[in-house]
Structure 1
Amino acid sequence: MFPYNVAEFVPIFLEEDEALEEAIQRSLLEESDRQSEVHISRSFKKLSKEEIEGLLRAHSEKVITPGTRQLHISRANVWSTALRQFKRPKFAESCEMLYVTFASDEHDTEEDAADLGGPRREFFRLLVKAIFQDSGAFEATPNGCTLKFNILHLQNGVYRTIGRMLSTIIVQGGEAPAFLSPHVVDYIVSGDILQVHLTPDDIGDPELRENLKKNPSLRVLLDLSGEDKDLTASLIAGVLRPSYSVLGSNRRVREELMVVKFREFLQCVENKELRDALGERTLTKDEEAFVKALRPGHILAFATGSSKVPAIGFQPAPKITFIHDESKHLPIAHTCANELLLFVNETTMADDDAFHYCFLVALMNGALFSTI
């Protein structure tokens, strides 16, 4: 038995863009001739069930065009037969009412019932169940269904097709698909992952869910923070430990100076002072943009491939290695070894902005501007 109650559903308007919401708002305006003002910005959560039904009915009348779309469905294979149809571009682009015919698997013939609404509503009921049970796109949690990470579904557009199915079900009078976990609904409504509030009961894996309840400290590994405030210049300096030459050697003195320069660079990045540290140096438009967006996490990602310290720490331990070579200037990273190579020479040791600029160029060449 499917574990969730359809009656608890609050309709969520699923579309690929904001067209549906805009249409609903226009409908609200048109149906409010007797009101001088309509507050479009009020939350849909404040609307009564009757108001929501009225808005949805008005939108349905506007978007559904005359004619019908033929749909042949096998009751024994609702998901596969529906998916095949909804993935067809012409079928998906049509706004006509569905005309559903069920195939009789026992006699290999079509059922006689004409679709005057009943077969379509039955199909929608079966399709909702198939989406959440048979599609492989969702998993059940105590709070409702949450999305599975299915790379094949993502590549093949199945998640997008499911969105079309749910939109069609809602607009064409099917049972409301009231099975989504609140955190999924939060994301659909807000579009902002930082507005999503999770609890252990939103986890599908029973063992992990119970461990989270027993050991709340594990939440630090799973909760999404709004900003990596703990990823500071000091932390990164502590993670990337210098591998110095022997104490007392001439190389050691030069290497210590390079560490001072590196930590100054980290501090400039954290404090958003790098542009000032580069003085009157002329930067390209791309370099200017890079400097503005640069954060300490980029430096850690450059050296290790990870913008955060892994839960089990780095293996092997990150380090800074010094190369005494006058011919090279740009830092190099060996991410497999968690190793940052700094070149020690007259250019990088000069009392100017050369070291900072060399590091900036190295970071840009390292293609670090993925989201971290």
Structure 2
Amino acid sequence: MTDESIIIALINNCLNYLIDNSINDPVDILRYLQKNIVTGRELEMSSIETPTDGDTNFISVDRHELIETAFDEVGALTDLRPTLEVQFYGENAVDSGGPRKEFFRLILREIKEKYFEPIRPFAKMEDYETIGKILALSMLQNGKIPQFLDFSLVNELFESSSPSLVVLNLRKGLDSLARTLQGTHYLQKENIILRIVICVRSLLIGSSLPQFRHLFNTKQPVMTLKGAITMLKPKFSEPGSNKRSLETRVYSVFTKYLREVSSGRRENISLHSILMFATGADEEPILGFAVGPEICFSESETYNSFLPTSNTCIHRLTLPIPSAEKDLPTNEILFHLYDLAFANTYYGLS
């Protein structure tokens, strides 16, 4: 059995399941296809004890030359199904989900600016093929949805029988994740197929796809103070304990800081910056976080160690609390330390 025939059988089974179970919502479809298409290591850690074994597609990229290095690395991948594992040059984070989300956020931003504002019809067409691969990977592996695609481009990408060279090469990249053929017998099912859509063009069935297309054209929501406080749930110690009172004291300061950020009074820091620091993503993925972001607390002994830290793979933000040796700094000092932490865009810097 060839690799292509294995993929065709897999996609066929997925389609039959979606039809038989009347799964129509695009998000539910994407979740089911992710579960059945992505292989190897788990995409997300459910806890610090989650095993990190399993096959991955390892890539090493330069944060300062991201387009060039990412295109070389992703373009060289032959099987896109295994979980992507990302290493940034010179940074010491082990990717169990956080660096991958960071990579997708950064590369989609650069792709948008360089290739779609405006579209560059005279660029190397193989670049657009690699872009198609990256868009498919981002959608299936808990990255960002490519919401920068123009509505007319989305229609051309999904429907046109005579696409431009740009769209033709985007299709090639999207097709590479699920190597199946347009028009085979299992694509001729009843009309419910028209609702089975995903950003892998070989799985885009029919010409009326309004629900799923909405995902491509919805602007990123602006995070609110209430949304940030609700999403970043504090993990307190037992009520009545001394540690709990210290944690509450620090958390109260942190919510004041969030209010400052929300009001635009902390230069170059946004609520999205804080979520990025904690999770690697600047918004909640379309399929949600496997583990909800949380705030934990640890004792501090020096002013410098009042800097927040994070584990983006389990979406944990850690805020230092006072110890017997060191009291809590003033709000002004704490806010400055928070600014330093949340402005940091690198892994492994103090």
TM exceeds 0.5? no
- CA radius of gyration, larger in: 1
Comparing both chains, which one has the higher relative contact order based on Cα–Cα distances under 8 Å and sequence gaps of 6 or more? Answer: 2
* Alignment TM-score, normalising by the size of structure 2: 0.41
* Alignment TM-score, normalising by the size of structure 1: 0.39
